[in-house]
Copies of this chain bind each other. A is one copy, B any other.
């Protein structure tokens, strides 16, 4: 049982985490903290947490566990604001998509009597905001913890336990390794999706309307990814710069090779490349990571409740 859990930043991830914890029945009191009073009102109206406040001091006082679920770029400022009010033995964690930069920004500001266990749930949808959250988001998904070597085991176990309440599976690795893997599986794909949809946005207006009308299988999926929260993703790229630039370089080389094959009509090279990528899809399906629970569209959700 956990007495008081405070979630700071009540967007898709924070809201889903709160709802999953509530459903588990193992947390006595869940506090939502958000800079926006409007978000706090939505939390209370929809019963997404037991309490909602814009006052960080009030939010973290007496909290056993504090979860930073704000964009990566806001982590340092929030940590500075809450550090003086963290109780003895409090465990701080986060949900950021970048782990090395976050650790360096958060850890130095903590008092000795509190611990920081960085975490990243590999889950999400293209929707943002508290009403986009749903309690099944983390079921059968991975949560990666990247504790520093000096982290107290007790704190690692607490964060493991609370994430297990959501149905997630836990892995531990170094922050640098996390950032490389996620650079490939998440950050680069988002960058590419943003680029390709951006390229379409720059087209002449008449062509653009036809692109929308005939948005076939490929492009439609890219637009879904490119509808993700811009602030969150800006911060990811600014804070995982080196891994993203490294993997982007490899990608550009591979794309140039395909471009060259198209220009010179090298069908054999194209076929070989397109054939080998099927294997990875098969492996993902076998790993049980191919399907997601259906995302909750906050616009539809708010229509349904209004």
Contact = CB atoms under 8 A, between A and B. Distances in A.
Interface of A: 73, 122-126, 142, 144, 180-182, 184-203, 207-208, 210-228, 230-231, 233-235, 237-238, 241, 244-245, 247-248, 250-252, 254-255, 258-259, 261-263, 265, 267, 270-271, 273-284, 287, 289-290, 292
Contacts of A215: 185, 284, 287, 289
Contact of A212 (B231, B254, B259, B287): B287
Contacts of A255: 191-192, 195, 248, 252
For the complex formed by this chain, how many copies does it contain in all?
2
B216 A122 contact: yes
A279 B208 CA distance: 12
B245 A263 contact: yes
A221 B222 CA distance: 9
A214 B262 contact: no
B212 A241 contact: no
Specify the main secondary structure of chain A where it touches its partner. helix
A280 B281 CA distance: 28
Nearest to A279: B201
